[in-house]
């Protein structure tokens, strides 16, 4: 969402070509330029010893009533790895150990003028009891071949899990 007022002096912002030639919100009173950058979401494919992974039922929009991987936005005072561990614990009650970086996904909705980045890790569950929390209202464990794309709230999670299923199928063959 575009900011309307200058965070430094409170004057109304205008869309202008900034010095780097991008059109950006600029404050005509004090010259402050607003650089809009995408938020970074971080999540995990949290695997149990039996190969099943944790999905969370979303209690909030976007995607309310649909399932997703435990994931959320990185805070200003943490690293990507810390965000992954925190989000997993908040949404599932599970403690995990990060193994591999599974991938980085991004999207850009031109009409909505938004973009975002999702960083996903594969993680091993090492403790805790499953319980929903934060913006998740249920936790369940599913095997790779049990996951239906229709359940999932986000295309990035669908893509990440499609690749995960393919890799698991290949390693079982």
Q: Which residues lie near Zn ion (CB under 5 A)?
A: 6, 8-9, 11, 27, 29-30, 32
Please say whether the beta carbons of 121 and 104 come within 8 A. Answer: no
Instruction: Provide the minimum distance between the beta carbon of 25 and Zn ion in the complex, in angstroms, as a whole number.
Output: 10
Element (H, E) at 161: helix 155-172
Nearer to Zn ion, 10 or 38 (CB): 10
CA distance 131 to 160: 23
CB nearer to Zn ion: give 11 or 22. 11
Q: Shortest approach of Zn ion to residue 13 CB, angstroms?
A: 8
Q: How far is the CB of 19 from Zn ion (least distance, A)?
A: 16
- The continuous run of DSSP H or E covering 162 comes out as helix 155-172
Q: Which is nearer to Zn ion, 6 or 96 (CB)?
A: 6
The smaller minimum CB distance to Zn ion, of residues 8 and 64, is found at: 8
Q: From the CB of 8, what's the least distance to Zn ion, in Å?
A: 5
What is the 3 state secondary structure string of 44-102? EEEECCCCCEEEEEECCCCCCCCEECCEEECCCCCCHHHHHHHHHHHHHCEEEEEEEEE
Q: How far is the CB of 6 from Zn ion (least distance, A)?
A: 3
Say if residues 125 and 94 touch (Cβ distance below 8 Å).
Answer: yes
Cα(74)–Cα(76) distance, rounded to whole angstroms? 7
Q: Which is nearer to Zn ion, 13 or 74 (CB)?
A: 13
């Amino acid at each position: 969402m575009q900011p309307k007022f200058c965070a430094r002096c409170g004057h109304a912002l205008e869309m202008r070509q900034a010095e780097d030639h991008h059109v950006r919100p600029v404050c005509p009173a004090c010259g402050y330029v607003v650089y809009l950058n995408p938020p970074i979401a971080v999540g995990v494919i949290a695997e149990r010893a039996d190969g099943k992974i944790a999905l969370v039922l979303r209690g909030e929009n976007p995607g309310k009533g649909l399932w997703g991987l435990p994931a959320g936005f990185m805070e200003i005072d943490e690293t990507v790895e810390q965000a992954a561990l925190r989000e997993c614990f908040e949404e599932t009650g599970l403690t995990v150990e990060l193994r591999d970086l599974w991938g980085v996904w991004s999207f850009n909705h031109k009409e909505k003028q938004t973009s975002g980045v999702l960083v996903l890790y594969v993680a091993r569950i090492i403790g805790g009891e499953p319980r929903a929390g934060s913006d998740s209202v249920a936790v369940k464990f599913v095997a790779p071949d049990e996951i239906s794309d229709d359940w999932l709230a986000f295309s990035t999670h669908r893509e990440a899990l499609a690749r995960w299923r393919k890799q698991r199928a290949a390693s079982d063959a």
